[in-house]
Structure 1
Amino acid sequence: MSNVSQSYTNMSIEVQYQDLMRVIIVSTLSTVPSFIFLFLNGTMLFTLRSKPVFRDTPRYILLYNLLFADTVQLAQSQLHYLLSVFKVKLPYPVCLCLSLLASLTTGISPLTLSVMPLERYVAVCYPLRYPTIITIRNTGAAIIVIWIISSLNNLTRLIFFFPFEMLKNLQEKDLCSNIALLLGTRSDQYDTAFTCLVFVSAGVAVIFSYIAVILAARLASANKALARKARNTLLLNMMQLCLSLCSTIYPPLLIALSRTVTRTVLSWVQNIFYVCFIILPRCLSSLIYGLRDRTVRPVLMCHLCCHQKLSL
């Protein structure tokens, strides 16, 4: 009888050891690239505040806002992911704050991407009026409006869907995630409607600006080089928008797969999806803009390589 008990004990220890190794490997595969891209994003944010030419140019101000929201979203997503992997349970108020922060920053990116194409549209189609339309003050006002819209979305979710009558009895008994907050199916429907509205608006802005830039490029009076550069930038905005949209299908995919695959398979698939749908969309802005923009690239490389600062 003692041999049987010892055998069960050894098997249990072995299973626990395998689970621990799986958790370490999975968390490492996601955490390492996440911290690398957090470093790159942080360096890009520092670069965009290091020179007056960046601080005083509207398109770089909009890029900073986009990159800041993506960086906060990446850090928050990585924290959520590690809490999930290591099965850490948090008090409901803390989990609610993390969820609201995620919802706030998630809406900032597509809203900013709906403004950036319009800035390029004005630059190409109305070059003489550009200095009076796209000013630092107007750009700041647009950014404030973006944050207000995303904040109002959070406030609406909290007021209309949070079960205040059950607040005293609420305890976080599951892992901290949006799924565990139990705001109800109406909240999911509202989130879906808001997400569709934001992404459709951003898509319309990008497509409208792209068509307008192409038509302007055919005119003899248009700046061909500026129009070509603006067209490539708008294509980049469209790609960023598609990547941001991909991040919204991450939870539904995991829910669907959790019903058909084993827990071990789900953990590996979750890691792959997390890298593809969460990490990559949040880091491509710094990589693409930093390496593509001739003004940003030398300063960014200088900071990454810890060389002496360049002067513009």
Structure 2
Amino acid sequence: MAANNSLIVGESSVYTVNNQVILVQVLVSVFLCINFLLITTFLLNDLFYRTMRYILFAVTLLSDCLFLVMTDILLILSYFRFSMQMWLCFLIYIVLSVYTFVTPITLTAMTLERYVAICMPLRHAELCSIRSALHCILIIHGLSAVPCIFVLSIVFASAAHSFYAQDRVCTVEIFILHSWQSHFRSAVCQSYFLIMCIIIVFSYVKIMKVAKAASGENKKSSWKGLRTVVLHAFQLLLCLIQLWCPFIEAAVLQINVMLFINVRYFNYITFILAPRCLSPLIYGLRDEKFFHSLKYYALCGLYKKQS
């Protein structure tokens, strides 16, 4: 009887996870379609090429698309226990590790751009030019690669030759060869978290002061910029909590495997998918110029004719 009950529980658990995987596929597909429409809108309008905030917005969209595709592929491979050669797992890890940080760091850069636009309007054209945007993108990817470089350097220095010849299910945990590596990775993530939070709070306080002192159109623009910073802060918070998820999941795994699966699923939906659906809301719908262009291309030009 006990064996039958355990069998039923096992079948029910597998069925639940299967439904979860299907739900993830639906959500990822929807988000990718929306992001593809936004990227197409950006590419078809020359105005957006000359504005730093739209260029950084496009970077977040491309980063989110790549990150969602790679995490979804890894989710499916892990679910079906598909093993792969270590060199391929290394490549997947590098991409995911770098683009885990690209979106939150880009959001921080977009917050600074709003700070310059509102608090230093006379210098905005100079500081936020196209050339500055390209330099900013290089800096963002350089900073995002730092944690990955440290982790892989430790792996290359301490792993045995047999480690590279294995075929294993690709997960982040297989690159943690020593317990102190986990603490080191935690320290790096928390340092990034602290620095970005300081920048967000600093920008918010400065824009708040300008918004209170402004009048007329300037006041309206300042408060709109302030709301954008608040949305960036919320989105950034979700992205940064994602950096803590591996440590929470590692602790839960020691308690119960099914609880670990459910926690990992919740973290994926809440802290990976959800923050990446906020970008279309912040710049795809709230920004008037981008919204009109999006509506025009989404309706195949009918919107422009009607207006």
Q: TM-score range by the shorter chain?
A: 0.7 to 0.9
The number of residue pairs the alignment matches comes to 303
The answer to whether structure 1 residue 81 and structure 2 residue 78 are counterparts is: no
Judging by fraction of residues, say which structure has more helix.
2
Listed as ranges, the matches of 1:1-312 within 5 Å are: 21-163=15-157, 166-172=160-166, 174-220=168-214, 223-261=218-256, 263=258, 265-305=259-299
State the 1:228 CA deviation.
0.8
Larger CA deviation: 103-112 vs 245-254: 245-254
* Alpha-carbon distance change, 252 to 307 in structure 1, aligned in 2, over 3 angstroms: farther
Q: For residues 297 and 172 of structure 1, do their structure 2 counterparts lie closer, same or farther at Cα, with a shift above 3 Å needed?
A: farther
Q: Structure 2 CA distance, aligned partners of 1:308 and 1:155?
A: 49
* Distance change in 2, residues 1:306/1:259 (3 Å): farther
Looking at structure 2, the residues matched to 27 and 165 of structure 1 have their Cα atoms a distance apart, in angstroms, of 33
Q: Is the 8 A contact 1:299 1:310 kept in 2?
A: no
The residue type equivalent to 1:146 in the other structure is I
Q: TM-score, normalization: structure 1?
A: 0.85
C-alpha distance in 2 between matches for 1:261 and 1:290: 41
AA in 1 matched with 2:48? F
SS at match of 1:87: coil
In the TM superposition, what whole-angstrom CA distance separates every residue of 1:164-212 from its partner, at most 9, and x where no partner exists? 6513443445421100223433332332222122222211111111111
Q: Is the 8 A contact 2:176 2:182 kept in 1?
A: no
| Residues 111 and 232, structure 2, Cα contact 8 Å, conserved in 1 | yes
Shift of 1:98: 0.7
Gaps of 5+ in 2: none
The alpha carbon displacement at 1:255 in A equals 2.5
Q: How far off its partner does 1:69 sit?
A: 1.6
RMSD of aligned alpha carbons: 3.0
Which of the pair has more CA radius of gyration?
Answer: 1
In 1: Cα distance, 2:93 partner to 2:203 partner: 34
Amino acid at match of 2:69: A
In the superposition, the TM-score normalised over structure 2's length comes to 0.86
Identity %: 28
